[in-house]
Structure 1
Amino acid sequence: MAAKIERPISEFNSELKLKGFNVWQLEADSQATRIYNRKDFYKICLTTGKSMVHYADRSFEHEGTILFFGNPHVPYSWETISTSYVGYTVLFSEDFFNALERSESLQHSPLFKIGGTPVIKIEEGTRDVLNTIFLRMIEEQTGDYIYKDDLIRNYINLIIHEALKIQPSIEFDQHKNAAGRLTSVFFELLERQFPIETRNRPLKLRMAQDYAIALNVHANYLNRAVKEITGRPTTLHITERIVAEAKALLLHTDWNISEIAYALGFEYPTYFNNFFKKATGNNPTFFREGVV
């Protein structure tokens, strides 16, 4: 068997940055391990075959047809296992997608968000529907229809809604009251801080009080709003997001523990060690070394 090769997504970046999207049919190439570092583009992939997806600190092994939703804020890699492997992929920027006025932030979707469900098993009937949508996107991509960008955004929305019908989520319900709007802004502000790309710019907002000040509300009011909408306190959401980023940095960078601690806004490595152990039950070194 030939040695596995890496195919960085950067080869698509030039074209993507010009138009905001790219869609294509996958090669029947079972020897590739595709590595996607945190870049600028969301990804939806419909594949049939056997594969292993490593997504942040989790791994998903699937056989058959799946839909995968990749978030540019989360590092992941894709390993093809079967000898027969077919499907389609669309990459797009959030700016491209959000040009559709009714679009909500992708980071709030249960399909793309941190800790969400990035892999969904697809039955044959749904696969036929999705195949048709991807083929239409490919056809429009090479066409000269003046409104093709709007049409492709609609196709992407169709794929997302087909997935949501299979994998419904209470958290995707849109709340239009004041508490819902404040909670939405809180999550937007939370996600805006990530990913951590450099060791020299530490996390600015790490406590609930920090977010309350940034949003010009009292911390108790912010917490009541967030808890009303999500059923969980503000501090828990912040902690889980920082832990998720810490795991990503431990697994996907060569930064030492002190550098990671500083990047995440901890004054001393011992504070980060205590925080991580309290949240996960393990210290950062053991997690990185694969002891857990």
Structure 2
Amino acid sequence: MQTERTQFRVADTCTANCSLVSYNRRDFYKITLTLAGKSVLYYANKAIEINRPALVFTNPLVPYSWEGNHEATVAHFCVFTKEFLQENGRVHSLEESNLFKVGGDPIYFLSDEQADYINSIFTRMKLEQESDYIYKNDLIRNHLNLIIHEAIKMQPAIAYFTPQKASSRIAKLFLDLLERQFPVDSQQYSLLLKKASDFADQLAVHVNHLNAAVSEVTGLSTTQHINNRIIAEAKSLLTHTDWNVAEIAGSLGFGYASYFNNFFKKHTGLTPTALRKIL
């Protein structure tokens, strides 16, 4: 029996029930409410100091990390898929929204009144999540939209600064973002980021700046890293799945199997079919 795919979860930091059985970070958007303390959020190539109540919106395709005692400052967070929020077509593309779009402003600082209000919404979402009400997902979706619309009415934070060792950080972000696309575990999935410019767009940096940083730090070009990772995944799929070559090509973002064959042979000296025969 196939387990139903989880599309939403709300929890407090460090609570046991915040794990997702079918969680895949590349599929989930996240909203975090912080209420006190100090931390720094590194989001793409930006760094933002958080020293008062704030809402933080993170995109599944943009790497981020926290510095400081983040867990002690977070009150609630929720993760959700695009499909959960967009059910019945009521919400426009999340990737293009001001809250989640690449290069957008992910942090919205709150007044005490706003923090209390949004804190109460998170509390209600947690209660509904544990209830047996048959339409609880509709209620949760409404609460989630309330949070989103409250943020849309606010002015975003603009106190960004450039982290030290910018080249090292950009290179790490690129490698994190590259690895986040793998493993390819479904024929319905296709790589979204296949060129250096795709990664530069996600990280909100110029492609030349990205290429220079990656080359400086790793000794390999951005394209070499991308190609090496795609080849490694292709070999894994050829070895561990019964997918045919066309299915593997599609899942790796190649429009035609012939393009994949040529790419694979160029980098390995063998066609995918020839490699599979000797494995």
Query: Aligning the two structures, in what range does the TM-score lie when normalised by the shorter sequence?
Result: 0.5 to 0.7
| 1:197-212 to 2 correspondences below 5 Å | 197=181
The one-letter code sitting in structure 2 at the alignment partner of 1:256 is L
State which of 102, 105, 111 in structure 2 corresponds to 1:117.
Answer: 105
Other-structure match for 2:94? 106
Checking the alignment, whether the CA contact within 8 Å between 2:40 and 2:48 is kept in structure 1 is: yes
1:126 CA displacement: 0.3
Q: Percent identity?
A: 39
Checking the alignment, whether the CA contact within 8 Å between 2:56 and 2:106 is kept in structure 1 is: yes
Other-structure match for 1:259? 224
State which of 133, 138, 141 in structure 2 corresponds to 1:145.
Answer: 133
TM-score (norm 2): 0.55
Say which SS state the counterpart of residue 96 (structure 1) adopts: helix
**Moved segments of 4+, more than 4 Å:** 200-207, 245-251, 260-263
| 1:33-72 to 2 correspondences below 5 Å | 39-48=26-35, 49-72=37-60
1:132 CA displacement: 0.7
State which of 22, 26, 30 in structure 1 corresponds to 2:9.
Answer: 22
Other-structure match for 1:74? 62
Say which SS state the counterpart of residue 79 (structure 2) adopts: strand
| 1:91-240 to 2 correspondences below 5 Å | 91-167=79-155, 197=181
Distance 1:25 1:70 in 2: 17
Question: For residues 131 and 255 of structure 1, do their structure 2 counterparts lie closer, same or farther at Cα, with a shift above 3 Å needed?
Answer: farther
Distance 1:19 1:82 in 2: 26
The one-letter code sitting in structure 1 at the alignment partner of 2:106 is P
The one-letter code sitting in structure 1 at the alignment partner of 2:220 is N
Distance 2:110 2:48 in 1: 15
Distance 1:137 1:255 in 2: 48
Say which SS state the counterpart of residue 61 (structure 1) adopts: strand
Distance 1:166 1:106 in 2: 18
Say which SS state the counterpart of residue 113 (structure 2) adopts: helix
Output one character per residue of 1:193-235: Cα deviation in whole Å (capped at 9) or x when no partner: xx6536x97967999xxxxxxxxxxxxxxxxxxxxxxxxxxxx
The higher-RCO structure (CA 8 Å, 6+ apart) is: 2
Over alpha carbons, which structure has the higher Rg?
2
1:79 CA displacement: 2.5
Say which SS state the counterpart of residue 95 (structure 2) adopts: helix
Other-structure match for 1:225? none
1:19 CA displacement: 2.5
Other-structure match for 1:241? 201
Checking the alignment, whether the CA contact within 8 Å between 1:47 and 1:86 is kept in structure 2 is: yes
**Aligned-residue CA RMSD (Å):** 4.1
Question: For residues 132 and 23 of structure 1, do their structure 2 counterparts lie closer, same or farther at Cα, with a shift above 3 Å needed?
Answer: same
Distance 1:74 1:110 in 2: 14
Question: For residues 255 and 158 of structure 1, do their structure 2 counterparts lie closer, same or farther at Cα, with a shift above 3 Å needed?
Answer: farther
Say which SS state the counterpart of residue 89 (structure 2) adopts: coil
1:164 CA displacement: 0.7
1:151 CA displacement: 1.1
Say which SS state the counterpart of residue 150 (structure 1) adopts: helix
1:167 CA displacement: 2.6
Question: For residues 83 and 110 of structure 1, do their structure 2 counterparts lie closer, same or farther at Cα, with a shift above 3 Å needed?
Answer: closer
Structure 2: gaps of 5 or more residues: 16-23, 157-176, 185-190, 229-279
Say which SS state the counterpart of residue 125 (structure 2) adopts: helix
Question: For residues 243 and 158 of structure 1, do their structure 2 counterparts lie closer, same or farther at Cα, with a shift above 3 Å needed?
Answer: closer
Checking the alignment, whether the CA contact within 8 Å between 1:100 and 1:153 is kept in structure 2 is: no
Distance 1:163 1:19 in 2: 25
Say which SS state the counterpart of residue 124 (structure 2) adopts: helix
The one-letter code sitting in structure 2 at the alignment partner of 1:132 is S
